């Protein structure tokens, strides 16, 4: 007598790496940022990750979240590890040393640390206010 076969695992597959990147790219917000600097050496093999991440920040939709934000690219030839430095408006600095990271990891951490600082607009609070009645004319 054999044991009955039971399924294990999930019935659905994940949508994949591209949908995960698209989801994180939609969440990027530059409102709390004053300046972002990208440092990489083009002759290193791990510089490709910073270059791919750089493309997500130069999208028009992302740039429109804060037109005053400065995006600066430093292409160096000194065998420096690829780095992304984010200068926040409150004076703090967040550094991403991307030597062993993937693009998805960088975008997830950026959204967790920086994009979460952006203030969300409360449209519900504006509509909940009662309108003042105009005074009756005599």
**pLDDT tens for residues 65-97?**
999 999 999 999 998 899 999 999 999 999 999
Asked if pLDDT for residue 48 goes beyond 60, the answer is: yes
Alpha carbon separation from 118 to 33, 53, 121, 131 (Å, rounded):
9, 20, 9, 29
Name 93's Cβ contacts closer than 8 Å, sequence gap at least 6. 85, 86, 87
120-129: pLDDT as tens digits: 654 444 555 5
With tokens 């206010």, the residue in question is 129
- Supply 18's token pair: 């591209």
Q: Tell which CATH classification among 3.30.470.10, 3.40.190.10, 3.40.30.10, 3.10.150.10 matches the domain 33-113.
A: 3.40.30.10
Q: Where are the domains of the chain?
A: 33-113
Q: Mark residue 79 as left, alpha or beta (left: phi above 0; alpha: psi -120 to 50; beta: remaining).
A: left
**Would you state the pLDDT for residue 122?**
43
**Would you state the pLDDT for residue 51?**
94
Mean pLDDT of 15-34: 92
Mean pLDDT rounded to a whole number for the chain: 85
**Would you state the pLDDT for residue 119?**
77
**Would you state the pLDDT for residue 123?**
46
∠ Cα 31 93 68 (to 5°): 30
Alpha carbon separation from 2 to 5, 8 (Å, rounded):
9, 18
């Amino acid at each position: 007598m054999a044991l009955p076969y039971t399924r294990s695992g999930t019935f659905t597959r994940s949508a994949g790496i591209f949908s995960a990147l698209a989801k994180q790219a939609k969440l990027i917000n530059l409102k709390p940022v004053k300046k972002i600097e990208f440092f990489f050496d083009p002759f290193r093999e791990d510089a490709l990750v910073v270059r791919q991440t750089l493309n997500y920040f130069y999208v028009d939709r992302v740039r429109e979240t804060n037109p005053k934000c400065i995006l600066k690219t430093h292409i160096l030839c000194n065998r420096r590890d690829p780095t992304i430095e984010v200068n926040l408006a409150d004076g703090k600095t967040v550094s991403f040393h991307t030597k062993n990271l993937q693009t998805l990891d960088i975008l997830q951490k950026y959204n967790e640390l920086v994009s979460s600082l952006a203030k969300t607009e409360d449209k519900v609070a504006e509509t909940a206010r009662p309108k003042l009645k105009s005074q009756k004319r005599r």
